Amino acid sequence: MLLPVQCVFCGTRCFADEGRICNGCLVDLPWHERLTEPGPAPLAVIAAPLEYAFPVDAALKAFKFHRRLEYGPAFAELLCRVIQELPGDIDSLLPMPLHWRRQAMRGYNQAHELVRVLHKQSDLPVLASVGRVRATPYQSGLDAAARRQNLRNAFKASAAIESGHVLIIDDVITTGESCRRLARVALNAGAGKVSALAVART
């Protein structure tokens, strides 16, 4: 707690106004040309501040698969800024669920790590009534058709959702199929609209 905050990318000391990514590294990150765009149905909006390119891709893999949890708060700080530019009617957060077996093996859900900071900063409630009920293989390496087949009946809502506009949080959006399937479940459970926000897009 007493040590100065170091940049998660270059290791230099961060000043108080820089957060966990120094201004030099922040400028050099591969920023996405368009922060938001209309989502593929049924998503209302899809957003990601960064492109899935070096060094973001390496950092997200380390965060997701190698317990480099220091990247979570750093990327969440970027998402906190992005939320301010999304539709103002967003009233709840939904982290992309992991199947309980995969979460037990990994020890954490990277989307939950991001949402923990977002909830604290935005005060938006976190939905816990939608889970992944089928242990699907990893989506990486699959084409669009295989991704759709892989995610059939993967998610289920255990209770009604009363939110007007749910925001799904994930680390990476590739084809958007996971977010689309999760959005359908949330809408069928009563959500008014669903959008998606990730750290990066391919």
pLDDT in tens, 150-179: 677 889 999 999 999 999 999 999 999 999
What was the pLDDT predicted at 121?
Answer: 93
Phi, psi of 153 (to 5 degrees): 55, 30
**Sign (positive or negative) of CA dihedral 142, 73, 200, 129:** positive
At residue 77, what is the residue type?
E
What residue type is assigned to position 132 of the chain? R
| Interaxial angle between packed helices 71-83 and 56-65, expressed in degrees from 0 to 180 and rounded to the nearest 10 | 120
d(C-alpha 39, C-alpha 183), whole Å: 11
Query: Position 124: which residue type?
Result: L
Read off the pLDDT of residues 16-50 as tens digits, 9 standing for 90 and up.
Answer: 788 999 999 999 999 999 999 999 999 999 999 99
Task: Report the residue count for the chain.
Answer: 202
Domain ranges of the chain: 1-29, 31-201
Q: Which helix (H) or strand (E) holds 144?
A: helix 144-150
pTM exceeding 0.85: yes
CATH class assigned to 31-201: alpha beta
Angle of helix 110-122 versus helix 71-83 axis, rounded to 10:
50
Tokens at 3, concatenated: 């040590």
